[in-house]
Chain A
Amino acid sequence: MARYATDMRVNVLYFGTLKDLFALPHEPLDVPDGATVETTLSLLRARTSKQSEVWRALAVAVNREYAGPATVLHEGDEVALLPPVSGGTQGRCER
């Protein structure tokens, strides 16, 4: 069956340190049809030149629900990249 190579558009939201890294709070992003959370993260990560600790343990929410790496995205999804939330240090200091 003849088929056009399709992209779909999702809206990516950045929070915390990621907002600084990408220098914007949100943007539309074209991803391949059938893209997952994991493939979307790979696309975005490839765009950032500098290494950032933030990729080490990131959570993603799709349409405001936490979503695992294998979650399949759909046209118009709201995909939020969430760095670790602001927990207290529990008395632990690095130095």
Chain B
Amino acid sequence: MRVELGTAIIPSAQVLEEMKGSTDGAVCVFDGIVRDNTCGRMTLFLDYEAYEEMALSQMRVLAAEALTRFPIRDVALLHRLGRLEVGETSVLIVVASAHRGAAFDACRWLIDTLKKTVPIWKKEHFADGVVWAAGEPFPDEIVAARETRETHE
């Protein structure tokens, strides 16, 4: 299991090669990269920030959970922080497995769950302004406040 969070460039190709083992029949990769626009609005660069200690521990929990949920051999989960230019890798997930089905399933589960539960935020610097990216709603079991009550005590 390889889990990393930091400002260094993520060496996607190298991580992929290092994850291959002799019992593997499949290595599935999700390489999340910085897009040059959001809904047509031109992006200059992104700033990622995290609640670092918690994000790293959450990433470790996720990687370990993937290894128990799916019949896979190994997982790499790397996320970058700081300023990222268009085309650079922000998140890399590599899943190695004897068979492709489990590798695909685990890879998809990892990125979807990471995007909802790991405390990392991105500030989008557009050509015409700066905004914090709207996040996915937290799963019900971890949300602490929801503005559903109309009345106030």
The answer on a CB contact under 8 Å between B54 and A16 is: no
Q: A16-B132, A85-B118, A87-B116 are in contact. Are A66 and B40 (CB under 8 A)?
A: no
What is the 8 Å Cβ interface bit string for chain B, positions 85-100, against chain A (1 contact, 0 not)? 0000000000000000
Q: State how many angstroms separate the Cβ of A6 from the closest Cβ of chain B.
A: 23
Contact partners of A8 in chain B: CB under 8 A: none
The answer on a CB contact under 8 Å between A56 and B147 is: yes
Contact partners of A58 in chain B: CB under 8 A: 138, 143-145
Within 8 A of A (CB), among B1-54: 32, 38-40, 48-49, 51, 53-54
Q: State how many angstroms separate the Cβ of B24 from the closest Cβ of chain A.
A: 28
The answer on a CB contact under 8 Å between A64 and B54 is: yes
Q: Is B120 an interface residue (CB 8 A)?
A: yes
Q: Is A60 an interface residue (CB 8 A)?
A: yes
The answer on a CB contact under 8 Å between A93 and B119 is: no
The answer on a CB contact under 8 Å between B144 and A37 is: yes
What is the chain B residue whose CB lies nearest that of A56? Answer: B147
What is the chain A residue whose CB lies nearest that of B123? Answer: A16
Q: Is A59 an interface residue (CB 8 A)?
A: yes
Complex CA gap A69/B142 in Å reads 9
Contact partners of A13 in chain B: CB under 8 A: 51
**A84 contact from B39, B49, B51, B134, Cβ within 8 A:** B134
What is the 8 Å Cβ interface bit string for chain A, positions 60-77, against chain B (1 contact, 0 not)? 110011111100000000
What is the chain B residue whose CB lies nearest that of A80? Answer: B51
Q: Is A23 an interface residue (CB 8 A)?
A: no
Q: A57-B137, A59-B144 are in contact. Are A86 and B51 (CB under 8 A)?
A: no
Complex CA gap A55/B137 in Å reads 12
Contact partners of A84 in chain B: CB under 8 A: 134-138
What is the chain A residue whose CB lies nearest that of B122? Answer: A86
The answer on a CB contact under 8 Å between A88 and B115 is: yes
Contact partners of A85 in chain B: CB under 8 A: 115-121, 135-136, 138
Contact partners of A89 in chain B: CB under 8 A: 38-39, 134
The answer on a CB contact under 8 Å between B119 and A15 is: yes
Q: State how many angstroms separate the Cβ of B48 from the closest Cβ of chain A.
A: 8
Closest 8 CB pairs of A and B: A84-B135, A87-B136, A93-B39, A60-B144, A16-B121, A87-B115, A66-B142, A86-B122
